Amino acid sequence: MKKIMKEAITKTHFNFPDQKSVYHGKVRDVYNINEKWLVMVATDRISAFDVVLPEGIPYKGQVLNQIASKFLDATSDIVPNWKLATPDPMVTVGYYCNPFPVEMIIRGYLTGSSWRTYKNGAREICGVPIPDGLKEHERFAEPIVTPTTKAQEGHDEDISKEEIIDQGLVSAEDYVKLEDYTKMLFKRGTEIAAEKGLILVDTKYEFGKVGDQIFLIDEIHTPDSSRYFYADKYEERFVKGEQQKQLSKEFVREWLMENGFQGQEGQQIPEMTKEIVDNISARYIELYEKITGDKFDKVPIAKVLQRIENNIQSFITKNSL
């Protein structure tokens, strides 16, 4: 148990030249280099219900960073993105952007939190009407955009397009662009997933600005930000009312809920045994190989923090000249 936990990188404490600040998010450590670059380290932390769980997941950071890097490259013709380089398997360096304070969530199917909301009687999500008579995991006639606020701490909150604009979080002009980009990115992600025998069920995108230019930022189409179903048995399972076989973080949420935890005050996080940790790690690697079509190459973990620091430092030195 202890041995495998040591393989996971759960926090970094680097200090680079011209570093202005560091932000330790739920799963990423983000270093601000002179408001010119952001250095994003994808750690092995894992969160669910907006709570960081007590154990890291070996290779999770590498999986997330490499999937995001591939999809940023595969969608750069749709919208400019923040990525400049990936100097380490767990690191992306990119433009320093001013982020919009909302997350653009898009859903192709009624599942996860949207199903739980629907099952409790709601027929509207973020101002989008949902018809009666739908079943769990049913495909929407058209994907729906259901934004949330972007909370620094605690839970993100659902919010409608009208509320976003009325509150001045995003201008009406920019919001139209964000929604258009969201739909185009989801369409591309859906096409790529289909080629690999997967369904991109839902996902989230984050955007920022450099000057007047909108950039796609953060991660894209990873198991932390997205949900995938296996396509081959989808229809059969749906007709029978069975749960879908999926590749996403939802199985972690389901395990937590089965053990009495949904991030509410007073609830205890269940013990994360070696078996649980190994299973989560294997599922992340499975998604990487399934969605990319590439074999996952586990980078040696010996002196991993030193390796990450050296690779970032080398990038900064070479590109500061």
**pLDDT single digits (tens) 209-224:** 999 999 999 999 998 8
Does pLDDT of 190 surpass 90? yes
Asked if 11 and 24 count as a contact pair (C-beta separation under 8 A), the reply is yes
Quick one: pLDDT band at residue 22, thresholds 50, 70, 90?
Answer: very high
**78-122 tens-digit pLDDT:** 999 999 999 999 999 999 999 999 999 999 999 988 999 999 999
Does pLDDT of 1 surpass 70? no
- Judged by average pLDDT, the poorest of 5-19, 28-42, 54-68, 143-157 is 143-157
Mean pLDDT of 273-286: 91
Quick one: pLDDT band at residue 301, thresholds 50, 70, 90?
Answer: confident
pTM to 2 decimals?
Answer: 0.89
Whole-number Å distance between alpha carbons of 65 and 93: 11
Tell me how far CA of residue 283 lies from CA of 224, 252, 275, 301, 309, in angstroms: 12, 10, 12, 19, 28
Query: Which residues, in sequence order, are CB contacts of 227 under 8 Å at separation 6+?
Result: 111, 112, 200, 201, 202, 203, 246, 248, 249, 250
Structure tokens belonging to residue 278: 């190994």
Asked if 145 and 128 count as a contact pair (C-beta separation under 8 A), the reply is yes
User: SS3 of 36, please?
Assistant: coil
CATH topology classification for 101-248: D-amino Acid Aminotransferase; Chain A, domain 1 (3.30.470)
